[in-house]
Amino acid sequence: IWVGNRNWSPYLTDAVQQAHQSGCQRILAVLTSGYASYSSCRQYRDDLDAALVQTGLTGELKVDKVRQFFNHPGFVTPFADGLVAALGRLSSHDPTLTSADVEVIFTGHSLPIGAAMSSGFGAWREATGGAYLAQHRQVAEQVVQAVNLLQRAAGGPEVTHWQLAWQSRSGPAAQPWLEPDVNDAIAGLPGLGRKAVVTVPISFISDHMEVIWDLDIEAAATAAGLGLGYARAATPGTHPKFVTALADMIEERQSGRGDRAHIGRYGAWPDSCPPDCCPAPVRPHHQGARP
């Protein structure tokens, strides 16, 4: 197993060189984003191709990848467990809170609206208006369903109010990105009669700096300034079901088996993305997107 990063060492070039030096002829890449978009999937595939060119290993190594896993139950279940735990922390801090008092905000990594709308491929993209947003909405719905089943069984408060918001915006201010920002969403909660908020970072698999800064620091401060209770659900991290899901998807890719675990209204994402999937964004100094 080798680790390769786009923006930090060890880089993808390091990983492919190590694999080649160990005698490998095929690499199976596990991308650490479960969703379809240029920056969360296709750009990594482009970067892997570039790493092979830079190391002179084109033709020496074949690179495949596991599918995007947004609707694998092993990805969704840890968020449900994390949300149940976060609701429990709120209730312990303030036993008077009811379901009507609490807003759950699912957060995704914001993208330029154009990139979000062009995510996915063919009829899938046309039917959903962009895979990235549709996939996040489905994950949020599946988490709410799972949490409410657990809470009913345990006699705990169910999720009755929730929304999808975005975090980690970058780029020029004039460029439209997915909204609302999580802090703007929190700012509107007192007007809805809410007394507390839970954030659930469904774009992310681990508690890294973007999660900690955007949610544990900035969003928490926004909530505190409004007198709202606040909790943040854990990311999957090393949750046993997520680790098992990664192993399952590696095995299914190696064996080529057809029974691929997924939940919700969308089927399992294809192993190999079609050529028109998630095209690169058009930038002002470019004549057009890459094919």
Residue 37 has pLDDT above 70, yes or no: yes
DSSP state of 198: E
CA dist 118 and 269 (Å) reads: 16
Determine the pLDDT at residue 283: 59
pTM attached to this predicted model? 0.93
Mean pLDDT to the nearest integer, 93-117: 96
User: Which of 99-103, 137-141, 173-177, 227-231 has the weakest average pLDDT?
Assistant: 173-177
223-263 pLDDT, tens per residue?
999 999 999 999 999 999 999 999 999 999 999 888 899 99
CA dist 51 and 212 (Å) reads: 30
Q: Where are the alpha helices (DSSP H) in 23-181?
A: 43-55, 73-93, 113-117, 122-128, 131-154
The per-residue pLDDT of the chain, averaged, comes to 93
Spell out the residues 6+ positions from residue 237 whose beta carbon is closer than 8 angstroms to its own.
78, 205, 206, 207
Residue 145 has pLDDT above 50, yes or no: yes
Q: Which fold has domain 73-232?
A: Rossmann fold (3.40.50)
Question: What residue spans define the domains of the chain?
Answer: 73-232
Mean pLDDT to the nearest integer, 22-47: 93
Determine the pLDDT at residue 285: 47
Give yes or no for a contact between 5 and 12, defined as CB atoms under 8 angstroms apart: yes
Determine the pLDDT at residue 125: 84
Q: Is 67 helix (H, G, I), strand (E, B) or coil?
A: coil
Mean pLDDT to the nearest integer, 89-113: 97
